[in-house]
Amino acid sequence: MKKDSITIPYDEEKLAALRLYLGQKNQSVEQEMVSAVDTLYAKAVPGNVREFLDLRSSMEVKPAERRKRPRPTPE
């Protein structure tokens, strides 16, 4: 699935402290935010819609997979 970005304003000093303390645990703000957004997604988006999106994304052919198809050999 294609990725998108979320930008939110947050207090600079609080963010610096958060980065410092998460870094001590080998974690990052970005990892924690992705986890939080995944939790929000599971809570807010109905299960049947999540299943549909999962099915749709598993059926997408990635560009790298398209190139791997063997070419027919001329006879």
Residue-level pLDDT at 5: 95
Residues of the domain holding 33:
23-56
Q: pTM for this one?
A: 0.70
Amino acid in the structure at residue 52 = F
In the chain, the number of structural domains is: 1
Task: Note whether residue 13 is domain-resident.
Answer: no
Residue-level pLDDT at 27: 97
Q: Is residue 22 within 8 Å of 36, Cβ to Cβ?
A: no
Task: Note whether residue 51 is domain-resident.
Answer: yes
Q: Which of 44, 3, 8 is nearest to 29 (CA)?
A: 8
Task: Note whether residue 64 is domain-resident.
Answer: no
Task: Note whether residue 46 is domain-resident.
Answer: yes
Task: Note whether residue 35 is domain-resident.
Answer: yes
Average pLDDT, 10 consecutive residues per value, the chain (75 residues): 93 98 97 97 97 90 63 67
